[in-house]
A and B are shown apart, each in its own frame.
Chain A
């Protein structure tokens, strides 16, 4: 069963063609690692999946619905189910960490203040952020901002999570924590796409890898198979460094 299906996706900014003809899909419960150099258009693909960006042509189906045909108010239902973890956190800088993480719950659920509090605090714990709830985003380190962004994205228990470089700029201990978290979420049946430069993370958490280059996505096959072929891993590593 395909959860995400992208076909003949084409996107230009002005006259610049970013994606020429992108095709890929992700099965339910699968984690696809999307690699590619800086500026290849990885973020634009993830943004398009939840309708933040409109493709010039092509189809993007999420659980059978073509999101390119939906208008802004219809997209709300998709966005409740598909979480996007922004590359830079994109926290609301006028709100505290607590309010940032509670935001989706306040907007989309009828939970009581008390239930919201419990859920936010346990999520903070999961991300090693205890004690930070009353801080403003400006008072956090880059790595902490990233984790708050991640916490805000997953608190609604989405079916699909799109991670945009979730481990970039984190220290090794927190990187491992995030890797474990992604694996754990996957084990609960979450479908995900992981955009990353970090081949090590990709190999540890993803089921399958794909490479975005020159406006096309090339399927690299299952991670389990790649692991048997160190030469290809090395080549990938070199390719990922390009640009």
Chain B
């Protein structure tokens, strides 16, 4: 077996075991709600500005690209439709999640990894408490709670970014823009976009904890673990997106 395959199997197995431990401990007392609240604050607040800036720029660029392309055909009236549907179904969730992986996922891995290196995780265990409950579960839950909310913000700001470019550069009427946005997007689009981010949050938080807890000894360990966590989360988000989108289309067509 090559080293690469072995690593991959370690990753799959390790994450599965970690998920199992989490599910087992999730409802066992004590629950540490205070730790969850601290994490929600730090995870949510830590990434909100970044997510907003990125969503705004993506929204603006999208409007510009579509606008210039469609203007030639006199079809710039489709801009609100295109920007809003692509943002709500795809771009908002994806960009919010990738930024979240880079900011929060990386933060979680490096924090946990340095706790391992300085034996703080061992100390949690030695003092008769569980790192799964004290460290892993609050972080994973905080991600699952915060990412969908951040995505909702990203959607709003991204569409607003489209409006800014639409009205300044392309002379679209703001009232017309919003009217088109609301008549285009249906609840199913919105739920499909936000719904995916619950899974993306897991794709970010669980590997982040896994790589942090399994950091290799030595000074480079923390950096290596962080890079690996961000790379594997990003891949899982992008590959997972295809399958989740498919699943959501199937569900949507049933109704």
Contacts and interface: CB of A to CB of B under 8 A. Distances in A.
Contact of B127 (A47, A79, A93): A79
Contacts of A76: 128-130
A92 interface: yes
A91 B118 CA distance: 8
Contacts of A103: 127
Nearest to B111: A94
Nearest to B21: A72
Contact of B126 (A73, A77, A86, A108): A86
A81 to B, nearest CB: 9
A34 interface: no
Contacts of B122: 47, 52, 86, 90
Interface string A119-161: 0000000000000000000000000000000001000000000
Contact of B125 (A52, A80, A93, A152): A52
Interface of B: 30, 118-120, 122-130
Contacts of A52: 122, 125-126
A104 interface: yes
A47 B126 CA distance: 9
A75 B128 CA distance: 7
Contacts of A72: 125, 130
A84 interface: yes
Contacts of A171: none
B222 to A, nearest CB: 14
Nearest to A47: B122
Given A52-B125, A79-B125, A90 B118 contact: yes
26 contacts: A51-B125, A52-B125, A72-B130, A73-B130, A75-B125, A76-B128, A76-B130, A77-B128, A79-B127, A79-B128, A84-B126, A86-B119, A86-B122, A86-B123, A86-B126, A88-B118, A88-B119, A90-B119, A91-B120, A92-B120, A92-B123, A92-B124, A93-B120, A104-B127, A108-B128, A152-B127
A208 to B, nearest CB: 25
Contact of A93 (B118, B128, B129): B118
Interface residues of A, number: 24
Contacts of A83: 126
Interface of A: 47, 50-52, 72-73, 75-77, 79-80, 83-84, 86, 88, 90-93, 103-104, 107-108, 152
A90 B114 CA distance: 11
Contacts of B130: 72-73, 76
Contacts of B119: 86, 88, 90
A88 B126 CA distance: 14
Contacts of B128: 76-77, 79-80, 104, 107-108
Nearest to B125: A52
Nearest to B124: A92
Question: Chain A CB within 10 Å — which of B125, B127, B129 has the most?
Answer: B127
B123 A50 contact: no
A88 B120 CA distance: 10
A84 B123 CA distance: 9
Contacts of B30: 107
Contacts of B123: 86, 90-92
Nearest to A43: B119
A77 B127 CA distance: 10
Nearest to B134: A107
A99 B124 CA distance: 13
Contacts of A92: 120, 123-124
B107 to A, nearest CB: 13
B215 to A, nearest CB: 15
B118 A50 contact: no
Given A50-B126, A80-B128, A88-B118, 10 more contacts: A52-B122, A52-B125, A72-B130, A73-B130, A76-B128, A76-B130, A90-B122, A91-B123, A92-B123, A104-B127
A113 to B, nearest CB: 14
A80 B120 CA distance: 17
A153 to B, nearest CB: 8
Nearest to A104: B127
Contacts of B120: 90-93
A103 B127 CA distance: 8
B188 to A, nearest CB: 43
A52 B129 CA distance: 12
A52 B126 CA distance: 7
